[in-house]
Structures are given as structure tokens and as C-alpha cells.
Amino acid sequence: MFLQTILIPQTIQNILIPSVVVLGIAALLGILIVIVSHFFQMPVNERKEALAAALPGANCGGCGFAGCDGYAQFLAEGSTDTSLCAVGGAACSTELASILGVAPKFAEPSVVRLLCQGSADHTKRRYEYLGTLTCNAAHGLLGGPGACTYGCLGFGDCITVCAFHALSVKDGIIKVDVNECTACGQCVRMCPKDLLMLFPKSSEVAVLCKNTWPGAQTRKNCDIGCIGCQKCVKTCPAGAISMTGALAVIDQALCTRCGACVEVCPTHSIGILEKDS
């Protein structure tokens, strides 16, 4: 060892050399980290940070971007559409607009509704399902264990993606809490039967059924489903109701919320928003 030629006692050498080596390695690593952090600095986009701070931070994906950061990036890059965040609502849109210096845009507040009323009192199971307890899995087995294959299975795939706890299972079907729902749209994508749909909050009347089977077949399997009797079509003063097969559908743009169809429906399959919330 070259150091042995210098007149340093062995014990001090034994302490000095390891200390120098370890401190040297630590110092070298520290310097390397500083150099790397200097050259690989990310430019901090302050406007994007301000926009991201104004967003709710729920990262629900309802705006169509990968999380709140994605939407903030989109706005920072020049877009002026501040209406895309359904969770933040009007207040958030105003704040975003004030940061960007543009006029705020507002989307119509919406909620999600389940187009099915086939709870345990109204329908039954046609076979005992022993497979994986998810809607998507059960739907793959001949449309699921419900007697009506259009109906809600209640295994809760939509509940697992709802970040706002707006969905729950009641009597075997999904119940929407309209006060918690922010219309982010995640549950709509999850339902294998497309039973969840976004409605503007102003729409109060909808046909809560998707069953297009003829009336007799529907009636046999569920006593609250639409049988296609067309009484509502004839009663509607605005002509807002039309038929798809044996299923009535209400056009929300034409509907005047008079409630005449609700009174006349024999199976009570048309529902009003505040009644079933």
C-alpha cells in the first residue's frame, strides 16, 4: 500500500482509509445527484400548477383526460373549454376561467340514473349463479342469472369505480344517491348491460327499463318492466315518446315534465327523478 510508505501509525490508517473512502463515495454520489438534477430539471409550468390546484383532484377521468393533471395540461396548452370538469362544477369552471383570463363555460349539471327497477320484489333469478361475483363475468354467462336479461344484476362493478360513493346496492339493484353523484361517467363505462345513463338534472321523467321483449314475455319475467302497450305514447301532449321494439323511450329535449305518462303507465315503469332518489 502506498500509504504505508508515509509514516502514519497502522491504527490511524485503519480508521482514516475507510472513512476517506466512504466519505469520498458519498460526496461523489452527492455531486452526481446535484449535477443530474441540474441538467435534468423539469421546467415548472406555473400556469399548469395553478390550474391543477383549482381542479378538485379526484382524478376520476370524467373530463376525458388521464386525471386532473391531464386536464390542467390541456388547458395550459391553450384550450379555453373550462366546462369539462363535472366534479368541480360551475365554481371550478369559473376559477379555471379566471386563471386563464377567458369567459367561463358551463356544462349542464347531470346525474346518472339506472334504467331498471327490477329489484328482488319485482323479478326473480332463473338459475343459481356460482361464478365470479362481478357483473361483467355474470353477464358473459347467457346474459346473467336474472329472469330478464336486460336487468341490473346488482354485483356492483359500477360501485367499485365510483370515487364519490354515490352508488349502492339496494334490494338487488343499484341505487343512485343524486346528491353525491358528480356525473363523472366512470360507472356508465363499467356496466355490461349499459343500464346507467347520464341525464341532465333538469330531466325528471324517464322510462326506467331497457327490455325490448314483447309484453307477455316481459310480464312473465318482471312485473315492473315496460310491456310496450303504447298508452304513454298516446297520452303524451308533446309527442316526446317513441317506441323501440316493445320499449318506450322519452326524448328529453321534447319532454315538458307534465307527468301524464307516469300516471297512465300500467306497470309503473316510468319514473320521476326526485321520487326514486
Q: How many angstroms separate the CA atoms of 197 and 121, rounded?
A: 23
Query: Do 274 and 264 contact (CB within 8 A), yes or no?
Result: no
Percent composition of the chain: helix, strand, coil (DSSP 3-state, to 5):
35, 15, 50
List the x/- string, 118-137, binding to other proteins by CB under 8 A. Answer: --------------xxx---
- Part in contact with other proteins (CB under 8 A); list of ranges 38-46, 55-63, 196-204, 228-236: 38-46
Closest to other proteins by CB, 79 vs 132, is 132
- In the complex, the smallest distance separating the C-beta of residue 37 from other proteins, rounded to whole angstroms, is 5
Task: Tally helices (H) and strands (E) across the chain.
Answer: 11, 8
Beta bridge partners of residue 113, listed in sequence order: 197
Closest to other proteins by CB, 106 vs 127, is 127
Candidate residues 16, 32, 53, 91; the one interacting with other proteins per rule CB under 8 A: 32
The distance in angstroms from the start CA to the end CA of the chain is: 84
- Part in contact with other proteins (CB under 8 A); list of ranges 25-33, 98-106, 146-154, 262-270: 25-33
Q: How many angstroms separate the CA atoms of 250 and 112, rounded?
A: 16
* Other Cβ atoms closer than 10 A to 223: 16
Q: Should residue 91 be labelled a site residue for other proteins when binding is judged by CB under 8 A?
A: no
Candidate residues 8, 17, 120, 254; the one interacting with other proteins per rule CB under 8 A: 17
Closest to other proteins by CB, 2 vs 7, is 2
Q: Could you give phi then psi for residue 9, rounded to 5 degrees? A: -60, 150
Ranges within 39-68 binding other proteins (CB under 8 A):
40-42
Name the site residues for other proteins (rule: CB under 8 A).
17-18, 21-22, 25-26, 29-30, 32-33, 36-37, 40-42, 132-134
